[in-house]
Amino acid sequence: MDRSAGERNETGELLLRFRRWLDDPEASPGIIRDLIGLDNERLGEFVRLNTGAEMLSSIRTLLTRSRESLAGAPREAIALTRLATALGSCYFTADPQLDAAVEGDAWKAHADALLRAGDYSEADRACRQASSFYTLVDPEDCLYERTQLNVTEAKVAHFLGDAERALALAGTAAATLARAFPKKKKDYVRARTTFATILVADFQRYEEGLKALEECAELARRDGDTESLASLVNNIGQVYARIGKLTEAKECFTTALQGFTSLGLKTDMPRVHAGLARILMQEGRFNEAVSEHYMARAAYLDLRMPVVAAEVDTHIIEALFAAGRTRDIPALCALAVETFMTANLPREAAKALAYMNAAAQRGTLTTDKLEDVREFYQRLQADPDERFDFD
């Protein structure tokens, strides 16, 4: 048997395994990883073994399962959407607009998954890819999808520090959904919530933002949208914390955490722990704040978001400084190095962690140095090419 015939047999075996996965994801573990690993030639051969209808159905299944994974396993969602974009690039029909729409949908879903995982720079690139494909489709045929993409773009722009663009995108998306898709209430609430959150976080327009969030919460409550409601209660709690209404904020965070836990929304839980920790810091309950931060860090590690988890470490150390527990800091830093050795921490983030640990062991770690490391981690989340070059 020559090499090409052997490769064709291997590709056929991959197709059988993939079809089993389409019927039952548990029946064919590892197939997504194996397909992602194919080069362009082999992937094209794999696609040609399917009919056009079969491939379209497969891509749609990948996107559906990625959405189901977003809240609890964003890294799995990224793998699914990465495969969907790869298959989409090899999928051709007699209708070029359909082909472009399929690729746009795949890249939009990929952007959503990257956003959930905190890969903001990559999410921005995925948004641009999705947008470029949607420009090849009749605007009326992809208005809904393009509007959904605008919401994702708004969130990404917010995390990348482009507040004006973020607010404009979210506002436009909410207005379009209200006008053109009045029955898509959950999507409207999502867009309007994004708009209100940006008002609060980036522009400190607390009263206006809080009013919009409370209106959205009422809409979600009326429609029985428990997922959006839990997120909104958390966001309202964040506003209360910012304006000093700590009792109300804690009530919101407790309610939100119960909602997230019951719905299995793992990606939302760390924000609640972080919010509770900030309140505890304001109340001078530093040891309890440490505990909340540890829960947030564990959640981020479980979600395979190591840079965000490393940033939480700086908050833990800050709380120890505030509590006067400076003797505990060297041991915590040394343990953090061990913890992150198996967490796939990027090289530059590992350098920052090593810098912080070395300073702690020498007894020269200060709150100013801690803030420098924290700000670096934040920049790294927005730009993975950021370099750590502190002395």
Assigned token pair, 118: 């905190």
Cβ of 103: how many Cβ atoms within 10 Å? 24
Pick out the chain residues at pLDDT < 50.
Answer: 1
Cβ of 170: how many Cβ atoms within 10 Å? 27
Q: Looking at the structure, do residues 32 and 119 belong to the same domain, yes or no?
A: yes
On whether residue 312 sits in a domain, the answer given is no
- The CA distance from 73 to 118, in Å, is 12
Q: In the prediction, which pLDDT does 209 show? A: 97
Assigned token pair, 354: 């090593």
Assigned token pair, 128: 């641009």
Domain boundary among 203, 223, 243: 223
Q: Looking at the structure, do residues 99 and 191 belong to the same domain, yes or no?
A: no
Q: In the prediction, which pLDDT does 9 show? A: 81
Assigned token pair, 11: 């590709």
- The CA distance from 31 to 14, in Å, is 7
Angle made by CA atoms 56, 133, 148, in degrees to the nearest 5: 85
The distance of Cα 302 from the centroid of its chain, to the nearest Å, equals 13
DSSP letters, 207-236, are HHHHHHHHHHHHHHHHHT-HHHHHHHHHHH
Q: In the prediction, which pLDDT does 1 show? A: 43
Q: Looking at the structure, do residues 61 and 88 belong to the same domain, yes or no?
A: yes
Q: Are 243 and 205 in contact (CB under 8 A)?
A: no
Q: In the prediction, which pLDDT does 382 show? A: 87
Q: Which residue has the tokens 């029946």?
A: 27
pLDDT tens across 130-188, in order?
A: 999 999 999 999 999 999 999 999 999 999 999 999 999 999 999 999 999 999 999 99
Q: Looking at the structure, do residues 17 and 52 belong to the same domain, yes or no?
A: yes
pTM to 2 decimal places: 0.91
Assigned token pair, 270: 């760390």
The parent domain of residue 166 ranges over: 142-223
The distance of Cα 383 from the centroid of its chain, to the nearest Å, equals 15
- The CA distance from 34 to 124, in Å, is 26
On whether residue 316 sits in a domain, the answer given is no
Domain boundary among 195, 223, 251: 223
On whether residue 167 sits in a domain, the answer given is yes
Please provide the distance, in angstroms rounded to a whole number, between the alpha carbons at the two ends of the chain. 60
* Amino acid occupying residue 93: T
Q: Backbone phi, then psi, for 90, in 5-degree steps?
A: -105, 0
Q: Looking at the structure, do residues 125 and 167 belong to the same domain, yes or no?
A: no
- Count: domains in the chain: 2
Assigned token pair, 96: 């070029």
- The CA distance from 195 to 170, in Å, is 5
The distance of Cα 344 from the centroid of its chain, to the nearest Å, equals 17
On whether residue 281 sits in a domain, the answer given is no
Q: In the prediction, which pLDDT does 391 show? A: 61
Q: In the prediction, which pLDDT does 6 show? A: 58
Q: Are 249 and 237 in contact (CB under 8 A)?
A: yes
